[in-house]
Amino acid sequence: MCSLNKELPIVIAHRGAAGEAPENTLAAFQLALEQGCDAFELDVHLSKDGQIVVIHDFSVDRTTSGQGAVNQLTVEEMKQFDAGAWFNPTYAGERIPTLEEVIAMTPAHIQINVEIKGGIGQGMEEKLVELLRRMNRTASIIVSSFHFDCLRTLNQLEPSLRVGLLYDLNLKDYALLPKAAGVDAYSLHPLFMRLEAEAVRAAVAQGVAVFPWTVNGEEGMAAMLEMGVSGIITDFPGKLRKLMEQ
Ligand code: G3P
Ligand code: CA
Protein backbone atom coordinates (compact mmCIF):
# COMPACT_ATOMS: atom_id res chain seq x y z
CA MET A 1 0.00 0.00 0.00
CA CYS A 2 2.76 2.43 -0.82
CA SER A 3 1.58 5.98 -1.15
CA LEU A 4 1.88 6.86 -4.81
CA ASN A 5 3.68 10.18 -4.52
CA LYS A 6 5.08 10.37 -1.00
CA GLU A 7 8.04 8.93 0.76
CA LEU A 8 7.55 5.95 3.02
CA PRO A 9 6.42 5.26 5.66
CA ILE A 10 2.79 6.05 5.13
CA VAL A 11 0.32 7.13 7.80
CA ILE A 12 -2.64 4.75 7.92
CA ALA A 13 -5.64 5.96 9.92
CA HIS A 14 -7.06 3.00 11.85
CA ARG A 15 -10.86 2.88 11.50
CA GLY A 16 -10.39 6.53 10.52
CA ALA A 17 -8.95 8.74 13.24
CA ALA A 18 -10.56 6.37 15.73
CA GLY A 19 -8.80 7.85 18.74
CA GLU A 20 -10.60 11.15 18.27
CA ALA A 21 -13.80 10.35 16.37
CA PRO A 22 -16.26 7.44 16.27
CA GLU A 23 -14.54 4.55 14.51
CA ASN A 24 -15.45 3.58 10.96
CA THR A 25 -17.71 6.60 10.38
CA LEU A 26 -17.45 9.23 7.68
CA ALA A 27 -16.57 11.74 10.42
CA ALA A 28 -13.59 9.63 11.46
CA PHE A 29 -12.36 9.35 7.88
CA GLN A 30 -12.84 13.07 7.29
CA LEU A 31 -10.84 13.90 10.43
CA ALA A 32 -8.07 11.54 9.31
CA LEU A 33 -7.88 13.39 6.01
CA GLU A 34 -7.64 16.72 7.81
CA GLN A 35 -4.81 15.30 9.95
CA GLY A 36 -2.79 14.39 6.89
CA CYS A 37 -3.16 10.63 6.59
CA ASP A 38 -2.07 8.74 3.48
CA ALA A 39 -4.52 5.88 3.85
CA PHE A 40 -7.56 4.64 5.78
CA GLU A 41 -7.86 1.27 7.44
CA LEU A 42 -11.44 0.06 7.85
CA ASP A 43 -13.38 -3.13 8.58
CA VAL A 44 -16.13 -4.65 6.47
CA HIS A 45 -19.03 -7.08 6.80
CA LEU A 46 -21.97 -8.06 4.61
CA SER A 47 -25.42 -6.80 5.57
CA LYS A 48 -28.52 -9.01 5.39
CA ASP A 49 -29.30 -7.54 1.98
CA GLY A 50 -25.80 -8.27 0.69
CA GLN A 51 -24.18 -4.85 0.85
CA ILE A 52 -20.66 -4.22 2.12
CA VAL A 53 -20.87 -2.17 5.31
CA VAL A 54 -18.08 -0.56 7.31
CA ILE A 55 -18.12 -1.67 10.92
CA HIS A 56 -15.65 -3.56 13.12
CA ASP A 57 -17.75 -5.90 15.25
CA PHE A 58 -20.06 -8.67 14.11
CA SER A 59 -22.90 -6.88 15.93
CA VAL A 60 -23.96 -3.23 15.99
CA ASP A 61 -24.32 -3.19 19.76
CA ARG A 62 -21.04 -1.58 20.86
CA THR A 63 -20.78 1.23 18.32
CA THR A 64 -24.38 2.19 17.57
CA SER A 65 -27.68 2.89 19.28
CA GLY A 66 -29.08 -0.33 17.79
CA GLN A 67 -28.81 -4.01 18.53
CA GLY A 68 -28.30 -7.13 16.50
CA ALA A 69 -25.96 -9.00 14.23
CA VAL A 70 -24.73 -7.06 11.22
CA ASN A 71 -25.55 -9.91 8.84
CA GLN A 72 -29.13 -10.04 10.16
CA LEU A 73 -29.84 -6.37 9.49
CA THR A 74 -30.43 -4.62 6.16
CA VAL A 75 -28.58 -1.41 5.36
CA GLU A 76 -31.86 0.47 5.64
CA GLU A 77 -32.35 -0.90 9.16
CA MET A 78 -28.77 -0.10 10.19
CA LYS A 79 -29.08 3.44 8.87
CA GLN A 80 -31.68 4.10 11.59
CA PHE A 81 -29.01 3.65 14.27
CA ASP A 82 -26.78 6.41 15.58
CA ALA A 83 -23.11 5.48 15.17
CA GLY A 84 -21.56 8.60 16.71
CA ALA A 85 -23.20 9.54 20.00
CA TRP A 86 -21.71 6.58 21.92
CA PHE A 87 -18.27 8.13 21.32
CA ASN A 88 -19.22 11.71 21.98
CA PRO A 89 -22.58 13.50 21.74
CA THR A 90 -21.05 15.99 19.30
CA TYR A 91 -20.95 13.14 16.79
CA ALA A 92 -24.65 12.29 17.10
CA GLY A 93 -26.14 11.66 13.69
CA GLU A 94 -23.24 9.65 12.26
CA ARG A 95 -24.33 6.44 10.55
CA ILE A 96 -22.76 3.13 9.65
CA PRO A 97 -21.41 3.81 6.15
CA THR A 98 -21.38 1.42 3.25
CA LEU A 99 -17.99 0.81 1.68
CA GLU A 100 -19.28 2.50 -1.45
CA GLU A 101 -19.99 5.66 0.56
CA VAL A 102 -16.49 5.68 2.06
CA ILE A 103 -14.83 5.15 -1.31
CA ALA A 104 -16.96 7.93 -2.79
CA MET A 105 -15.69 10.46 -0.20
CA THR A 106 -12.06 9.31 -0.47
CA PRO A 107 -9.76 11.47 -2.63
CA ALA A 108 -8.04 9.54 -5.40
CA HIS A 109 -4.57 9.87 -3.83
CA ILE A 110 -5.68 8.35 -0.53
CA GLN A 111 -5.49 4.59 -0.29
CA ILE A 112 -7.80 2.31 1.61
CA ASN A 113 -6.85 -0.78 3.56
CA VAL A 114 -10.05 -2.83 3.61
CA GLU A 115 -9.94 -5.47 6.34
CA ILE A 116 -12.43 -8.23 5.67
CA LYS A 117 -14.06 -9.37 8.90
CA GLY A 118 -17.40 -10.89 7.87
CA GLY A 119 -19.06 -12.48 4.87
CA ILE A 120 -16.00 -14.56 4.00
CA GLY A 121 -16.96 -17.26 1.52
CA GLN A 122 -20.50 -15.90 1.49
CA GLY A 123 -20.13 -13.54 -1.43
CA MET A 124 -17.94 -10.91 0.18
CA GLU A 125 -14.94 -11.52 -2.06
CA GLU A 126 -16.98 -11.33 -5.30
CA LYS A 127 -18.96 -8.28 -4.19
CA LEU A 128 -15.81 -6.45 -3.15
CA VAL A 129 -14.09 -7.05 -6.48
CA GLU A 130 -17.25 -6.01 -8.34
CA LEU A 131 -17.52 -2.78 -6.33
CA LEU A 132 -13.85 -1.84 -6.78
CA ARG A 133 -14.03 -2.45 -10.50
CA ARG A 134 -17.27 -0.49 -10.84
CA MET A 135 -15.78 2.46 -8.92
CA ASN A 136 -12.45 2.12 -10.74
CA ARG A 137 -10.59 1.93 -7.41
CA THR A 138 -8.92 -1.45 -7.59
CA ALA A 139 -5.43 0.09 -7.77
CA SER A 140 -5.73 2.17 -4.60
CA ILE A 141 -6.97 -0.58 -2.32
CA ILE A 142 -5.19 -3.19 -0.27
CA VAL A 143 -7.32 -5.92 1.25
CA SER A 144 -6.16 -7.53 4.48
CA SER A 145 -7.55 -10.32 6.58
CA PHE A 146 -6.66 -12.75 9.33
CA HIS A 147 -8.44 -15.31 7.14
CA PHE A 148 -5.97 -16.36 4.46
CA ASP A 149 -8.58 -18.39 2.52
CA CYS A 150 -10.24 -15.11 1.72
CA LEU A 151 -6.97 -13.65 0.40
CA ARG A 152 -6.32 -16.70 -1.75
CA THR A 153 -9.80 -16.29 -3.26
CA LEU A 154 -9.08 -12.62 -4.00
CA ASN A 155 -5.76 -13.55 -5.66
CA GLN A 156 -7.77 -15.68 -8.07
CA LEU A 157 -10.66 -13.28 -8.63
CA GLU A 158 -8.52 -10.21 -9.27
CA PRO A 159 -4.75 -10.89 -9.46
CA SER A 160 -3.94 -7.17 -9.61
CA LEU A 161 -5.60 -6.48 -6.27
CA ARG A 162 -3.04 -6.10 -3.49
CA VAL A 163 -3.64 -8.24 -0.45
CA GLY A 164 -2.02 -8.28 2.99
CA LEU A 165 -1.65 -10.94 5.65
CA LEU A 166 -2.80 -9.92 9.12
CA TYR A 167 -1.00 -11.43 12.11
CA ASP A 168 -1.29 -11.21 15.85
CA LEU A 169 1.37 -13.81 16.55
CA ASN A 170 5.10 -13.43 16.98
CA LEU A 171 6.24 -15.04 13.78
CA LYS A 172 9.96 -14.75 13.29
CA ASP A 173 10.43 -14.69 9.54
CA TYR A 174 7.67 -12.60 8.08
CA ALA A 175 9.30 -12.67 4.66
CA LEU A 176 8.61 -16.37 4.32
CA LEU A 177 5.00 -16.17 5.35
CA PRO A 178 3.27 -15.20 2.09
CA LYS A 179 4.73 -18.27 0.41
CA ALA A 180 3.95 -20.45 3.38
CA ALA A 181 0.37 -19.18 3.44
CA GLY A 182 -0.02 -19.75 -0.29
CA VAL A 183 -0.96 -16.12 -0.77
CA ASP A 184 0.50 -13.73 -3.32
CA ALA A 185 0.81 -11.00 -0.71
CA TYR A 186 1.79 -7.39 -1.15
CA SER A 187 2.12 -6.70 2.56
CA LEU A 188 2.33 -8.06 6.07
CA HIS A 189 0.29 -6.50 8.87
CA PRO A 190 1.79 -7.64 12.18
CA LEU A 191 0.82 -6.67 15.71
CA PHE A 192 3.42 -4.02 16.48
CA MET A 193 4.37 -5.13 20.00
CA ARG A 194 5.77 -8.40 18.67
CA LEU A 195 7.56 -7.02 15.67
CA GLU A 196 11.32 -7.40 15.34
CA ALA A 197 13.62 -5.25 13.23
CA GLU A 198 15.16 -8.25 11.50
CA ALA A 199 11.77 -9.43 10.29
CA VAL A 200 11.03 -5.98 8.88
CA ARG A 201 14.36 -5.88 7.07
CA ALA A 202 13.85 -9.36 5.61
CA ALA A 203 10.36 -8.56 4.35
CA VAL A 204 11.17 -5.15 2.91
CA ALA A 205 14.32 -6.54 1.23
CA GLN A 206 12.08 -8.97 -0.61
CA GLY A 207 9.69 -6.26 -1.71
CA VAL A 208 7.02 -7.07 0.86
CA ALA A 209 5.62 -4.05 2.68
CA VAL A 210 5.20 -4.11 6.47
CA PHE A 211 2.32 -2.24 8.11
CA PRO A 212 2.26 -2.79 11.91
CA TRP A 213 -0.91 -2.15 13.96
CA THR A 214 -2.19 -0.43 16.08
CA VAL A 215 0.52 2.01 17.15
CA ASN A 216 -0.89 4.80 19.30
CA GLY A 217 1.94 5.96 21.59
CA GLU A 218 4.88 8.09 20.53
CA GLU A 219 7.36 5.54 21.84
CA GLY A 220 5.89 2.78 19.71
CA MET A 221 5.67 5.06 16.70
CA ALA A 222 9.34 6.01 17.06
CA ALA A 223 10.33 2.36 17.40
CA MET A 224 8.45 1.43 14.24
CA LEU A 225 9.99 4.32 12.32
CA GLU A 226 13.42 3.21 13.49
CA MET A 227 12.73 -0.32 12.23
CA GLY A 228 12.00 1.01 8.77
CA VAL A 229 8.43 -0.17 8.39
CA SER A 230 6.51 0.72 5.23
CA GLY A 231 3.63 2.36 7.04
CA ILE A 232 2.04 2.61 10.49
CA ILE A 233 -1.57 1.88 11.36
CA THR A 234 -2.70 4.23 14.13
CA ASP A 235 -5.81 5.62 15.82
CA PHE A 236 -3.97 8.96 15.95
CA PRO A 237 -2.83 9.85 12.43
CA GLY A 238 -2.33 13.50 13.38
CA LYS A 239 0.08 12.59 16.19
CA LEU A 240 2.06 10.28 13.88
CA ARG A 241 2.21 12.89 11.13
CA LYS A 242 3.57 15.48 13.60
CA LEU A 243 6.16 13.04 14.92
CA MET A 244 7.34 12.28 11.40
CA GLU A 245 7.69 15.97 10.65
CA GLN A 246 9.93 16.64 13.66
O1 G3P B 1 -5.77 -4.03 10.45
C2 G3P B 1 -5.17 -4.04 11.69
C3 G3P B 1 -6.14 -4.10 12.81
O4 G3P B 1 -7.24 -3.29 12.50
C5 G3P B 1 -6.59 -5.47 13.14
O6 G3P B 1 -7.33 -5.56 14.34
O7 G3P B 1 -9.38 -5.70 15.68
O8 G3P B 1 -8.48 -3.47 15.05
O9 G3P B 1 -9.53 -4.93 13.33
P10 G3P B 1 -8.73 -4.88 14.59
CA1 CA C 1 -9.26 -3.64 11.40
**Does 3.20.20.190 match the CATH number of domain 10-245?**
yes
Helices (H), the chain: 26-34, 75-78, 99-105, 124-134, 148-157, 177-181, 197-205, 218-227, 237-245
CA of 215 to the centre of ligand 1 (A): 11
| Residues involved in catalysis | 14, 56
Secondary structure in 3-state letters for 73-113: CCHHHHCCCCCCCCCCHHHCCCCCCEHHHHHHHCCCCCEEE
Domain ranges of the chain: 10-245
| ipTM for the whole complex | 0.99
Beta-bridge partner residues of 188: 165, 210
CA of 213 to the centre of ligand 1 (A): 7
* Cβ-based neighbour number of residue 173 at 10 Å: 12
pLDDT tens over the chain, length 246 residues: 433 333 579 999 999 999 999 999 999 999 999 999 999 999 999 999 999 999 999 999 999 999 999 999 999 999 999 999 999 999 999 999 999 999 999 999 999 999 999 999 999 999 999 999 999 999 999 999 999 999 999 999 999 999 999 988 766 666 667 777 899 999 999 999 989 998 899 888 889 999 999 999 999 999 999 999 999 999 999 999 999 998
Could you list which residues have their CB under 5 Å from ion ligand 2?
A: 43, 115
DSSP state of 174: G
Pocket test for ligand 1, best of 42, 43, 55 (most atoms within 8 A of CB): 43
Secondary structure class of 115 (helix, strand, coil): strand
Pocket residues for ligand 1 (CB within 6 Å)? 14, 41, 43, 56, 115, 144, 166, 189, 213-214, 233
